[in-house]
Structure 1
Amino acid sequence: MSVLVAIPARYASTRYPGKPLVPLTGATGHKRSLVERSWRAAQAVSGVDRVVVATDDDRIRVACEAFGAEVVMTSPDCANGTERCAEAHAALGGRYEIVVNLQGDAPLTPHWFVEDLVAGLRAAPEAGVATPVLRCDGAALNGFLADRRAGRVGGTTAVFAADHGAMYFSKEVIPYTAQTYADAAETPVFHHVGVYAYRPDALAAYSGWPTGPLERLEGLEQLRFMENGRKVLCVEVDAKGRQFWELNNPEDVPKLETMMRQMGLE
């Protein structure tokens, strides 16, 4: 089953303009842009036939071609990464059986997250899209809560049914819990990891649907699938002791750099 990984990268982010080109310093002092580090993460995934960066910006294209990435130019009218992946897949002939959206702000995504995600979608023919979820430990949950108290958008959380079909995703911390977890190894909160695997029919249909009220309120693209009755499969992944964080705000840069140093990432 052929697999395409597309990395959507947009320069004109409202919250963090130019984010894909932000340099991150690794353990050896080497600086690489956020999009290059995300591309390198994609290169480590096994079972992938092709990796492309999907962008509408020549600054990103030039930077990506300089480090050897294949680039697909897409329209500036794409509302989000899913629409950009759909356009890139169509531009490449629409011939891949699974399209993975590895968002360009998640350079610490372990390769097994993507491998487990693709395996989960293959095993669930009733699902048109799948996305990973990671159970929060106490430190991660406290970080999410601190971000919300400070008015920052931190990680997205997810709740799902017994069959792992998503019930909701939110930038708020859900489900509500009055308990404090401090250094607990496990909490009832799941972090939504910003990666998606799509079947081509669901991906192609996405851009034809209007933006719904929940997607508009939360700013979460995956809610459009749910608002149009498509099952989103939540695939639980195991961090295996590895730290994971996304670059959502400028304040996240030193946090990611500290994690990269601790993991020995160049």
Structure 2
Amino acid sequence: MMRTVIVIPARYASTRYPGKPLAELALPDGTRRSLIRLSWEAACRVRDVNRVLVATDDDRIAEAARSFGAEVVMTAEECRNGTERCADALARGGIEADLVVNLQGDAPLTPPWFVEALVEAMARDAEAEVATPVLRCDPVTYGHFRADRLAGRVGGTTAVFDRSGRALYFSKEVVPYIDPGRIPDPIPVFHHVGVYAYRPAALAAYGAWAPGPLETLEGLEQLRFLENGVPIACVEVEGRGRVFWELNNPEDIPRIEAVLKEDA
């Protein structure tokens, strides 16, 4: 069995939503929990994981994480994205792993089977260096995507991939384009779920590359792999009736709270 470590990168100085990891969400039982705690609890529900770490450069996040029992690795302030932070945590924390999973701290609705599917895919394909899950949009999620773009907000990310499941592109635009008057069923738009599984060598190489033009324009860290010729395996996962959404903007809090209420 592969030694698998989940790293939850978290930073305070988000441009769109400063302090996002410490934002509190209302739970169905009337209590409130921080986004970072909900994400850590989601990671702890994944089977066959050796360690779960919170990686941050911020003392406020570190203190909050330790208060609910999380293991914390302090990383450099210079980390520009979650993948760089995972690479830094791997180097600083003396972490021994065959597989490193990046479960971002703004995705508390991530079901455990999304991550388990990635681990299984990497175990089957010894040549795969990076893998990430994609979820076919249902009408509700597709509606959220379109509403965000029409309102000028950056919402979720979409992915397009070839017949073998290798990523062709990721974008914050809704791709492929669909004529609003002719939306097919099923909807051919895939929501990119912000989780990654890396071989340690691929993660180490990432930190040595400078961001490319596509990554810089889109603000999507995974494009650095594609720009440097490293394929990304897109693993299609099933929602099993659950709605998935990341917390990208303050407007997403009611959406996530509604899903938490439905799940309860």
Q: Which residue of 1 aligns with 2:33?
A: 32
Give TM-score scaled by structure 1 length: 0.96
Q: Secondary structure at the match of 1:15?
A: coil
Distance 1:181 1:198 in 2: 38
Tell me the equivalent position of 1:190: 190
Q: Distance in 1 between matches of 2:95 and 2:10?
A: 20
Q: Is there any run of 5+ residues in structure 2 with no aligned partner, and where?
A: none
The answer (yes or no) to whether the contact 1:22–1:34 under 8 Å persists in 2 is: yes
Cα distance in 1 between the residues matched to 2:213 and 2:65? 35
1:77-226 pair list within 5 angstroms: 77-180=78-181, 186-226=186-226
C-alpha separation between the residues in 2 aligned to 1:139 and 1:253?
16
Q: Kindly provide the amino acid, as one letter, of the partner of residue 236 in structure 1.
A: E
Identity of aligned residues (%): 62
Contact 2:141 2:243 in 1 (8 A): no
- Corresponding residue SS for 1:207: helix
Offset from partner CA, 1:55-89 (integer Å, 9 cap, x none): 00000010001000000000010010000001111
Partner of 1:3: 4
Q: Would the alpha carbon gap of residues 48 and 179 (structure 1) be closer, same or farther in structure 2, given more than 3 Å must change?
A: same
User: CA separation in 1, counterparts of 2:93 and 2:18?
Assistant: 28
| Partner SS for 2:5 | strand
Counterparts of 2:220 and 2:90, CA distance in 1: 21
Quote how far apart the aligned CAs of 1:252 are: 0.5
**Partner secondary structure for residue 254 of structure 1:** helix
1:76 alignment partner AA: E
Shift in Å at residue 93 of structure 1?
2.2
Counterpart amino acid of 2:43? A
TM-score scaled to structure 2, two decimals? Answer: 0.97
Deviations 1:200-242 (Å, cap 9, x if unpaired)? 0000000100100000000000000000000100000001001
What is residue 17 of structure 2 aligned with on the other side? 16
- Bigger mean CA deviation after superposition, 48-57 or 136-145: 136-145
Ranges in structure 1 where 5+ consecutive residues have no aligned partner: none
Shift of 1:134: 0.1
Distance 1:180 1:92, change over 3 A: farther
CA RMSD of aligned residues (A): 1.2
The separation in 2 between residues aligned to 1:253 and 1:36, in whole angstroms, is: 15
